[in-house]
Structure 1
Amino acid sequence: MPAVFILLRSLVIRLLSSRLAGSVAQYLRRILSTGATHLGTALRHIWDRVRSQESKEAILGCVLCILNMHKKVEN
């Protein structure tokens, strides 16, 4: 009987931890999505206010550099 109790307890712990991990993953995904939306809106606002083509190219170059650095970190 104690072995059954230990088995059930370990199954319950695994179930709860997997649900908790799933909830945390969904929360992080939602936060990152919201952050990306706000960043995109801010960049669009800046882009609309900048008049000079050279400034727009400089901003685009910076964004591409940041994205490229992020890609290298993942590898």
Structure 2
Amino acid sequence: MSTPEIELVPFMVDWSQTETHPHDALPDMGCKLIELYGTHPNPDILYNTFHKLGVHLRVEPNEKISLKAIIQSPRGVVEI
């Protein structure tokens, strides 16, 4: 039996029942998300799941599974 590849499969949070979306309560720190992407040893196995979900997430081949963010900050572009 193989382990399902769920590490990079996104989840959705429904904020419609809250009065304030968390984004609206945060101070503007001058940052902007440029891209969210993932790495995975076999990115092709994620393609079908992402396609069915309508998710457009770039996944690069890499030994480690990770989720990365590229952010434009007041100090320049940062990748975390």
TM-score (norm 2): 0.24
| Structure having the higher Rg | 1
> Is the helix fraction higher in 1 or 2?
1
TM-score, length basis structure 1: 0.25
Higher relative contact order (CA 8 A, sep 6+): 2
